[in-house]
Amino acid sequence: MRVSRSFLVLAGLCVGMGLGTAGAQHSDGAELPDWSGVWGPVANTIFDQATVQPPGANANDVDAREFPPYNEEWEAKYAANRALKARGQFPDPISTCGTPGGFPRMMNFPGASEFVVRPEQVWILTEDGPNIMRIYTDGRDHPGPNDRWPTYSGESVGHWEGDTLVFETISLKAEMILDRTGLVLSDQARIVTRMRKTADDLMEARFAIDDPVALTETWHVVIEYRRFEPGTRMIEFACAENNRNPVDASGRTLTLDREGNILDQL
């Protein structure tokens, strides 16, 4: 279980490390935006806030669901995941300290993230996981089909349109969980993301998700972020260490106290 965040004021931390500093240049000489500091999502961990029912629900709520444009087969997959969740048997790797959350779920983790802007790349670093994503903005194309394979963060290439980062992500692993309601996509998903600051301490990411296997049309999702107070630092979080969420023989994820006693109620 993770401890609460400590807000430590360390003046100039991000600037001193060269992370996302103002004044960096595009390869064409244009100035890059200042995304320095540490950011976190404004809302809870529901992936698609626009369609969630009941309104304001949390991803852990048993009756929470979203309405992506699934086809019949993938709506049935979603229903099966929701049924597992209702029985406490949903195999979420985040709750069991298993595999990384991956993209796009890492864009909506409840903890802290850094968006490190460089002329040739943008890095997305999450405290929860940790997950690391590299977006190449040096003009390259995606690797050819023989040089890529499905991974948790996929392959991303992008470019700048003014102060907006636009990037496409492909080669994602199949059926990675998007949130704890049970949302999943296929390994054919292609996600175009547009990220920009909307105010000095606010940012948004707009996702256009196409998946010819799972979706009947493009799925549009918006996630907003708020910059934490100056001096906030990222804290290493090794979930697998002192893991108090084992999985029992039935597939239920348990929660243990400090003495190893099961806290969950059947």
- Note the pLDDT of residue 100: 86
Nearest Cα to 211, choosing from 75, 119, 106?
75
- Note the pLDDT of residue 219: 99
Q: Which helix (H) or strand (E) holds 97?
A: none
pLDDT tens digits, 90-106: 877 776 666 889 999 99
- Note the pLDDT of residue 257: 74
Q: Which of 59-68, 107-116, 128-137, 212-221 has the lowest mean pLDDT?
A: 128-137
Two structure tokens written together for 71 = 């086809």
C-alpha separations of 179 from 8, 53, 155, 186 in Å: 30, 14, 21, 15
- Note the pLDDT of residue 28: 52
- Note the pLDDT of residue 69: 99
- Note the pLDDT of residue 19: 39
Residue 193 CA, chain-centre distance (Å), reads 12
- Note the pLDDT of residue 8: 37
- Note the pLDDT of residue 91: 78
Q: Which domains does the chain have, with CATH numbers?
A: 13-227 (2.40.128.20)
Nearest Cα to 102, choosing from 49, 176, 25, 20?
176
Mean pLDDT computed over every residue of the chain: 86
Rounded Cα distance between 52 and 46, Å, is: 7
Q: Is the pLDDT of residue 179 over 90?
A: yes
Mean pLDDT calculated for residue range 130-153: 95
